[in-house]
Copies of this chain bind each other. A is one copy, B any other.
Amino acid sequence: MALTPTDVKEYPNSYMFDIGMPSLKSGDIKVSVEDENVLVISGERKQEEAKEGEKCVRIERRVGKFMRKFVLPENENTDKVSAVCQDGVLTVIVEKLSPP
């Protein structure tokens, strides 16, 4: 979880997932829906290649693969999922189904 702290907020017509992912870009992250109602966010923060003459003094930022799964409520429209990555935060919006 430390790699992917997430805020989830509900709005009248959608759910929004805000996931802190510093240094990751859209291409490093996969967003999908499995089993019809499970939102899956996965990816990898890779170790950067050492530059010439580089010496690591302190390493606190975590690297490695991550995966988060969120079971979605029944009223979500999993055909309407959008994702955007900005300033190290991935925002995923899942629209709710219109009431019948």
Contact = CB atoms under 8 A, between A and B. Distances in A.
A61 B7 CA distance: 6
Nearest to A45: B20
Interface of A: 1-2, 5-12, 15, 18, 20-25, 51, 53-62, 87-89
Given A12-B53, A25-B87, A88-B88, A58 B20 contact: no
A5 B5 CA distance: 13
B55 A9 contact: yes
Nearest to A50: B9
A2 to B, nearest CB: 8
A47 to B, nearest CB: 10
Contacts of A18: 23, 61
